[in-house]
Amino acid sequence: MPSLTTSAEPELTFNAHLGEGPVWDENEEKLYWVDILSAKLLVYDPSRKTNMEYDTGEHVGAVALRKPGGLLLALKTGIAFFDLESRKLTRILDPEPGLSGNRFNDGKCDPSGRFWAGTLSYKQVKGAGSLYILFPDLHAERKLREVTVPNGMAWNHDNNQFFFIDSPTGTIFTFDYDDKSGMISNRRTVRQIAEAEGSPDGMTIDEEDGLWVALYGSGKVIRIDPESGDTLHEIHLPVPNVTSCTFGGPGLDELYITTARENMSALDIKQAPLSGSLFKAKVPCKGLPVSRFSG
């Protein structure tokens, strides 16, 4: 059993179809997140309780901050820069130009400012997706083939381990990671999530290298010891489809949690009306500022 259990509270009541990819900007003290299937970039300001919506024109899987300013988006048709003021989208590249049935899903920046993002098939065909890395000079390389639903990326604080989830496998993987080159190798399992526990989705890491994993279908986020694979903490939500999480707040000790109402019937939503909302939980540990894309 976990040593600690917490309940998350609704921070913003919202009807996200597939809320995902939260990123905290410690300078602006705002949360960036996406509603993938509604093609929306969302910017939540907790001080004002406002949530700005930006139409990206196509399904948007992930958002990342840039060191020079502005944002990076992983879209259905590739990776692009986005300027909030002008709402201008500047396309960079599409590594899968011939695969119209695929889209980008989760993505994050590594400690050296490279952007990692994975693709999946809309029909979630097994092995139809890949994991890519975008370098600051704007060229891309494929890092993994034959993934199905790429999710949950994180790097430890010694910068020598990369954690990754391919959701249908139910597995949290770790790789040896070379921060200088971005090379990954020696894949092994941190934890196999039992089907009854839900499907592992988005993930973040705290300053003690604890992994916080959203469990889609089971209404919770769990903190996992990456060495033993044990559950150390559970956060419970009043909705089933928990998608991702990130640390935020002035002290980086609040966990923002995204949810979805994808594949829910009218009866399901009646029973869990806060599905698609943004939640927050106070936790007894801290995160670190997210890495930003260097290009």
Domains and CATH numbers, the chain: 4-282 (2.120.10.30)
Taking the alpha carbons at both ends of the chain, their separation in whole angstroms is 44
Place of tokens 């693709």: 119
Classify each residue of 5-43 as buried b or exposed e, where b means 16 or more C-beta atoms within 10 Å of its C-beta.
ebebebbbebebbbbbbbbbbbeeebbbbbbbbbbbbbb
| Residue 271: φ, ψ to 5° | -80, -25
Residue numbers in the chain where pLDDT is lower than 50: none
pLDDT, one tens digit per residue, over 161-177 is 999 999 999 999 999 99
> Which of 99, 83, 103, 101 is closest to 91 using CA atoms?
83
With beta carbons less than 8 A apart as the criterion, state whether 163 and 180 touch. Answer: no
How crowded is the C-beta side of 46, counted as CA atoms within 13 Å?
Answer: 19
pTM to 2 decimal places? 0.97
The active-site residue, picked from 137, 201, 206, 230, is 201
pLDDT, one tens digit per residue, over 196-250 is 999 999 999 999 999 999 999 999 999 999 999 999 999 999 999 999 999 999 9
The whole-number pLDDT of residue 1 equals 55
**Residue 8 tokens, joined:** 């998350």
For residue 25, indicate whether it is catalytic: no
